[in-house]
């Protein structure tokens, strides 16, 4: 789990701010039409800042929210993080998280 957070942070650093700004605008526009949060469109930082969403992540991917380096991946979605930790961030876990996130007010 630790290595994927390091790789995710390095990817964000190498990608540069303009690319991040472009990808951040699309989820905001889609959020109105869809559920409030999703693993594909909502960055990890937003999920971690919401106590209920954070608890959902911790329930489905134990240890992720308490990892020492989780803050380095705050700008990425869980779906994007999946490529760095496919054994921990599985399609089944993302689906379960999405189902629980859809129930949030």
pTM: 0.71
Residue 4: predicted pLDDT: 61
48 close to 65: Cβ distance less than 8 angstroms: yes
> Is 34's pLDDT higher than 90?
no
Residue 45: predicted pLDDT: 98
Could you tell me which residue, 56 or 2, shows the higher pLDDT?
56
pLDDT in tens, 40-97: 999 999 999 999 999 999 999 999 999 999 999 999 999 999 999 999 999 999 999 9
Residue 11's pLDDT band, with cuts at 50, 70 and 90, is: low
Residue 87: predicted pLDDT: 97
70-96 burial string, b = 16+ CB within 10 Å, else e?
Answer: bebbbbbbbbbbbebbeebbeeebbeb
Residue 17's pLDDT band, with cuts at 50, 70 and 90, is: very low
Kindly give, in sequence order, each residue whose CB lies less than 8 Å from that of residue 74, ignoring residues fewer than 6 positions away.
43, 44, 45, 48
Could you tell me which residue, 41 or 1, shows the higher pLDDT?
41
């Amino acid at each position: 789990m630790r290595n994927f957070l390091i790789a995710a942070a390095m990817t964000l650093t190498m990608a540069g701010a303009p690319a991040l700004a472009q990808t951040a605008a699309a989820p905001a526009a889609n959020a109105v039409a869809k559920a409030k949060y999703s693993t594909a469109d909502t960055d990890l930082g937003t999920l971690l800042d919401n106590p209920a969403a954070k608890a959902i992540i911790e329930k489905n991917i134990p240890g992720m929210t308490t990892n020492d380096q989780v803050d380095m991946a705050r700008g990425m979605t869980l779906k994007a993080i999946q490529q760095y930790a496919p054994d921990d961030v599985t399609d089944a876990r993302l689906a379960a998280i999405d189902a629980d996130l859809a129930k949030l007010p």
